[in-house]
Structure 1
Amino acid sequence: MSGPKYLGHLNINVRNVEISHEWYTDLLGLHTYDFIPGRAAFLSANVELSHEIALTQVAEGAPGLQPGQVGLGHFAWRVETLDDLKEFYQKLLDRDIKITPRDHGVSMGLYFQDPDGNGVEVYYERVRADWYTQENIFTNEKRPVGDFPGPWDELAAD
């Protein structure tokens, strides 16, 4: 028996499926495969898949995530080019969404939250040949950590 090949989808509990559905389709450009008002939405970036995210509505007053709480920290969407990431950065700025940019050495990511406080990342992964190392990529003491080395302040000023 072989193991899983890839992650199929995430199911995210949200307080208001209409608000979250609009947010994920408008900001991330996800395709809607099914939408049940007041109950659920099934979305995907890859139109060949039935869904990568299922949004399930829970009570409007449901407690939100707390810092340090056990559970999913964030999930990430990959873009193809650094220019795509820069465009997405500007899109977040235009919507006044708080962004935490990070350079992980092998990738550069933009971290932010959805309307319910769930962590979301949009990232660009460098070509493997450009990685700072080929082994121990997250524990290597030479790993660059911090904000982007790029002209992000200039982009924000445009």
Structure 2
Amino acid sequence: MPIHRLNHAVLFVSDLARSTDFYCGVLGFRALPQAFPGAAFLQAADSANDHDLGLFQSRDAAPGARRTGSVGLYHLAWEVDTLAELGRVRDRLAEAGALTGASNHASTKALYARDPDGLEFEVCWLVPDAAVVEELSAMTSPTRPLDLDAEIAKYGADTRGGPRTDPTVWQHLTGPA
């Protein structure tokens, strides 16, 4: 049985309360009743998971000590349902001073940000399966700057993206399985 999708992520953070406030206030997670001291368990708004993000107080309280490109977690990615929601997340991340980039990867439209400890994460909208091949065929490079207004004009603000349900979408790139 293959892996289906990311169920949850767990991060060590330098300031548990600050990180909990960030993920709840900026990305809309909700804190669940704590199971034990030194930890917070957060759930995404429409999730049925027991938790989507676990935060543990680090014994090493030095934020940002990890160098970019060093061994360890690079980033996590969460999906949103619509481009309108991606726009709302972009605005909240910008207001929080956390937004670091926005990219068009053809099959996804992505925002990049850093939490208070400098841990990078992505929030993305998945292009619907029916449009992925066209998007990938039109790409001249693997990544372009994201023009969210243009994507909304193309797909509509409230068009639901993903999840990927058609495994043949990628065959034109990789060949038959």
Do structure 1's residue 114 and structure 2's residue 119 form an aligned pair? no
- Between stretches 57-66 and 105-114, larger displacement belongs to 57-66
SS at match of 1:99: strand
Gaps of 5+ in 1: 153-158
Instruction: Give the corresponding residue for 2:40.
Output: 41
Q: What is the 5 A alignment of 1:116-155?
A: 116-133=117-134, 142-151=140-149
Q: TM-score, normalised by structure 1?
A: 0.80
Contact 1:38 1:57 in 2 (8 A): no
- Offset, 1:24: 0.6
- C-alpha distance after superposition, 1:100-122 (max 9, x if no partner): 00000011111010111111111
User: Residue 61 of structure 1 aligns with which residue?
Assistant: 62
Q: Percent sequence identity over matched residues?
A: 26
Deviations 1:55-79 (A, max 9, x none): 0111223762211101111101111
Distance 1:83 1:50 in 2: 27
The equivalent of 2:18 in structure 1 is 19
Gapped runs of 5+ residues in structure 2?
151-177
CA distance in 2, matches of 1:58, 1:115: 13
Once residues 35 and 11 of structure 2 are traced to their aligned partners in structure 1, the CA distance between those partners, rounded to angstroms, is 15
Equivalent position amino acid for 1:27 in 2:
V
2:64–2:118 CA contact under 8 A, matched in 1: no
CA distance in 1, matches of 2:134, 2:149: 24
How many residues were matched structurally? 147
Give the secondary-structure state (helix, strand or coil) at the position aligned to 1:72: coil
Structure 1 residues 23 and 120: alpha-carbon distance in aligned structure 2, compared to 1, 3 A threshold: same
TM-score for both structures, normalised by structure 2: 0.72
Amino acid at match of 2:13: V
In the other structure, the counterpart of 2:83 is 82
Note closer, same or farther for the CA distance 1:150–1:38 as it changes in structure 2 (3 Å cut): same
Q: Give, in whole Å, the separation in 1 of the partners of 2:3 and 2:149.
A: 39
The structure-2 alpha-carbon separation of the partners of 1:130 and 1:63, relative to structure 1 and needing over 3 Å to count, comes to closer
Q: Give, in whole Å, the separation in 1 of the partners of 2:41 and 2:142.
A: 37
State the superposition RMSD in angstroms: 2.5
Greater helix percent: which structure?
2
Amino acid at match of 1:57: Q
Alignment of structure 1 residues 4-15 onto 2, 5 Å: 4-15=3-14
Question: Which stretch shifts more, 91-100 or 51-60?
Answer: 91-100
CA change 1:30–1:56 in 2 (3 A) is same
